[in-house]
Amino acid sequence: MAVADLLVVVSDVILRRIGWNYFSFSFLDITPVCSLIYFLVFATIEISVWLTVAFTFDRFVAICCEKMKTKYCTEKTAAVVLGTVSVLSCLECVPWYFPYEPEKIVDNVPWFCILKTIFFTSPAWAAFDMFHRILTPCAPFILILLLNVLTVRRILVSSRVRRGLRGRSNGENHKDPEMENRKKSIILLFSISGSFILLWVGRVGYNIYLRIADSRYYYSYTDSVYIVQSTTGMLQLLSSCTNTCIYVLTQTKFREELKNIVTYPLNLIVKLVKS
């Protein structure tokens, strides 16, 4: 998830926003490269969003489905889910490479990307655009809310039962390792899925409203539309930055691996100098 979120930052923030706004007429503005960047933006966002759903489902299974837990919550299953989500997301976003055409041609070189007229008039493109907006992030939004509600319900019920049984058997309050582990899992779960919901809710409402209003208006750039687009887009991108911070704050193993990645080049340089 952290890698997927980093790719969102690279493609959407660095290549798209910084590259196009501050390095005009660079190779990033050539139409084929520009179309590729759009594809990467859509694909990385979709991967990031659906990996958040996968993580939420994994925590749901681990907490609510004891029989399924031993088979599903394994490294092999995690690798399969990661690969499947990444491949399917990339395949679903391939059409986003094609609806753009050059804004201008200079010395036979196509520059910049604008949407073709057929994108607004073709029923096929309208259906694909609506399908994509429902797939990301409307469907994940609903799934995360549903899974969180079911998970919270199960935790509350099992916590009451467990406290009652331990109170009867021990007659006094002792720390329960199982409950401590559940608390940590819940903190991580709600930190990630909760931040996702809060930061994406504006974008979801904005997409629904504008798609209902008018498809052409959706892609227009009046002052009011630009302000809303920029604000909701900023919050959406911020959701791609929070997961890494949450992992650093809550996961000891993640902090250790991150420390190893940072210190490995330094240790390698020290060894080379000594040798």
Give the pLDDT confidence score for residue 173 in this predicted structure: 52
pTM: 0.79
User: Which residue did the predictor score with more confidence, 138 or 186?
Assistant: 138
Look at residue 219 in the predicted model and tell me its pLDDT: 55
Here the contacts of 97-103 (C-beta below 8 Å, separation 24 or greater) are 97/35, 97/36, 97/38, 97/39, 98/35, 99/125, 100/31, 100/34, 100/35, 100/38, 101/31, 102/31
230-244 pLDDT, tens digit per residue, is 888 888 888 777 766
- Residue 97, pLDDT above cutoff 70: yes
Fold adopted by 2-255: Rhopdopsin 7-helix transmembrane proteins (1.20.1070)
Quote the DSSP letter at residue 95. Answer: G
Write out pLDDT tens, residues 13-22.
Answer: 899 988 888 8
Whether the per-residue pLDDT at 137 is higher than 60: the answer is: yes
Q: How far, in Å, CA of 17 to CA of 23, rounded?
A: 10
Residue with the larger pLDDT of the pair 41 and 6: 41
Rounded to whole angstroms, the Cα distance separating 117 from 219 reads 12
d(CA 5, CA 192): 12
* HSE, side-chain direction, 13 A CA sphere, residue 75: 0
- The candidate with the shortest Cα–Cα distance to 56, out of 134, 133, 140, 138, is 140
pLDDT of residue 33 exceeding 90, the answer is yes
Question: CB atoms < 10 A from the CB of 138, how many?
Answer: 15
CA torsion, ordered 162, 167, 169, 173, to nearest 10 deg = 110
User: Residue 151 has what pLDDT?
Assistant: 83
- Select the more confidently predicted residue: 175 or 46: 46
Hey, what are 230's tokens? 């920029």
What residue spans define the domains of the chain? 2-255
